[in-house]
Chains A and B, each alone.
Chain A
Amino acid sequence: MKSMSCKQFDRLSQDMLDDELDAARISAVRGHLRTCLSCAQRFAETEALVESARELEALDPPPSLWDGIDARLAAEEVADSRRSPFWFWWQQVRRPATVGGLIAATAGAAFVLATLTHPTVSDDVPGKLPGELAVAAADDSVEPMSDSLQAASALESIESDYQNAIDELFVLVEDERSRWSPAALGVFQERMRSINDTLRLEGQRARLQPDNPVVHDALHGGYRDKLALLQQAVLAHDEWQ
């Protein structure tokens, strides 16, 4: 599926800043931002301008919360940016069309059953699809969306695990930090800042290829560093000193 063009993005981004877009289009715009650096830069500047004009400052969420949400949304947003206009239209009309949808689903089930009862693999050439579908299948430059999404989903799951572990440790650190000396707290915060900087950078890289594990290796390394630091802080057990 063709990605959103920069021209389309320009048209929609202003609407987004004016809070006039629905959730699906916002996701698509964000998806484009993740894959187009020039648009991302332009949008960031515009957004900063709009933000500065607002009277009330928005509260920043804690970095850990933002990282987690960001990682989980990344794959969905990139996928949304590749969706067709029909999909966006459907998001708007699907609620009123519930009854029609049920009828369509029933018809779809009947079609699937009819298809399954006929061979989809030709007898003479294993793995080749008959008729017109074979032409589409032979064009392997068309990436099957499901493969990419599966990989992105698996990566998202692992990153969610890391984030959950980090969140658990943060809770424990909060309990412990009142016992730390100012010097120890300073060292901890400095190291945490450095790791968070790395994580932000690697997170940006990873979001550009949400389905490629190799690109995510460095991000996972950053998560492990953060876990190690937090665990070290939690297990300091200085009472016996």
Chain B
Amino acid sequence: MTKRVSFLLVFLASQVAWAQETVRNVEERGTVEIAPTIKLGQVIVDNRLGNVTVVGHDSPKVTLTMLKRAPDQATLDRLKVDLILDPKGIVRVHSALMFGKEARPIPVAGVRIDIVVTVPRDSKVNVKVWNGLLSVRGLRSALRLSANDAKVTVTDVKGAISTSNARGEQRFNNIDGTVVAGNTFGDLRFDDIRGPSLTATVHRGRIEAKRVSSKKVKLRTTFGQISFQGQLVPGGRYDLRSHAGDVAVKFSASTPVHIEAFSRSGSVDSQLDVANQGRPSVGKMRVVYGRDRGRRAVLRVSSRSGNVSLGLMNE
């Protein structure tokens, strides 16, 4: 009997609390637009309180659209977003929760500010978020992103990109430029990457890179698999390493490729036609693939305890 009463009390309390939470959740939308008379140098967005989306467009204007959410009106009133253009052409978007007169960008449960910024395509962009989603698309300039626990998506960018994230997946699609991406925990996925170099490091997570034609590629993961599909170009350097994960490479090449593959406690399997140049020994392989004429590409693949496999891409 006592248990039934206790259960009923807990159930009633949770229902009332849920109903009040629903009633008290409030939000506010707003849009701000500026039309700078000077050329924009950089757009800096620092929003630790929610999602950020940055979209490049063909107008010189900068538009900020925000959606603020809070459990109650009083808290909503404490959420602030600033948009500042300084004389050097730097636009700063900054969000905070007010504590008295002090603005602090601290993430708090139940409080969110989601921001969408449209900027001229050639603006350099620097974004910091805490968690949630960080999405950038349509830019033609350099990009720097940092997050702690976010899903990062970068699409259709021509320019150098640098990202860092502690937890969460990162995806890159249709990129022309140098890419340096770092994760501690979470997968990294690349599709259609061109440009001088691609560097990706993750501690625990998988790296998947396909349709890559960058000239220098470095992929590193401590605990995770690496899957690479791409075109190896003359003079290119491709260095793929995992400590405890399989590394699978499929490539196409119009140039000879010097291949070094190694696994300490796993195997090295090759589907390449290297019969005339010696079959790979167990755990180790060193060959030149293709007619040894022209400038070589160098492909180095290794895993401490995983398997290494090499093959050609399907034409």
A residues at B contact (CB < 8 Å): 109, 112-113, 116-117, 120-121, 126-128, 137, 140-143, 147-148, 150-151, 154, 158, 161-162, 165, 168-169, 172, 211-214, 217, 220, 224, 227-228, 231, 234-235, 237, 239-240
Given contacts A168-B203, A217-B146, A220-B166, 19 further A-B contacts (CB under 8 A): A116-B16, A121-B20, A126-B26, A127-B73, A140-B100, A141-B99, A142-B100, A143-B99, A143-B100, A147-B99, A150-B108, A151-B106, A151-B107, A158-B166, A162-B184, A214-B48, A220-B148, A237-B302, A239-B262
Q: Could you say which residues of chain A place their CB within 8 Å of the CB of B167?
A: 158, 161
Q: How many residues of B contact A (CB 8 A)?
A: 56
Shortest CB–CB separation between residue B3 and chain A, in angstroms? 14
B residues at A contact (CB < 8 Å): 9, 12-13, 16-17, 20, 23-24, 26, 46, 48, 72-76, 78, 97-101, 104-109, 128, 130, 146, 148-149, 164, 166-167, 182, 184-185, 201, 203-204, 220, 222-223, 241-243, 260, 262, 264, 284, 286, 300, 302, 304
Shortest CB–CB separation between residue A154 and chain B, in angstroms? 6
Shortest CB–CB separation between residue B43 and chain A, in angstroms? 18
Among A112, A127, A143, A172, contact of B13 (Cβ-Cβ < 8 Å): A112
Q: Could you say which residues of chain B place their CB within 8 Å of the CB of A240?
A: 260, 262, 284, 286, 300, 302
Shortest CB–CB separation between residue B77 and chain A, in angstroms? 8
Bound CA span A237–B300, Å: 11
Q: Could you say which residues of chain B place their CB within 8 Å of the CB of A120?
A: 20
Bound CA span A169–B223, Å: 10
Bound CA span A224–B162, Å: 14
Decide if B72 touches A126 in the complex (CB within 8 Å): yes
Chain A residue at minimum C-beta to C-beta distance from B131: A154
Shortest CB–CB separation between residue B221 and chain A, in angstroms? 9
Decide if B98 touches A224 in the complex (CB within 8 Å): no
Decide if A150 touches B109 in the complex (CB within 8 Å): yes
Decide if A113 touches B148 in the complex (CB within 8 Å): no
Shortest CB–CB separation between residue A169 and chain B, in angstroms? 7
Decide if A151 touches B166 in the complex (CB within 8 Å): no
Decide if B204 touches A213 in the complex (CB within 8 Å): no
Q: Could you say which residues of chain A place their CB within 8 Å of the CB of B130?
A: 154, 213
Shortest CB–CB separation between residue B293 and chain A, in angstroms? 25
Q: Could you say which residues of chain B place their CB within 8 Å of the CB of A126?
A: 26, 72-73
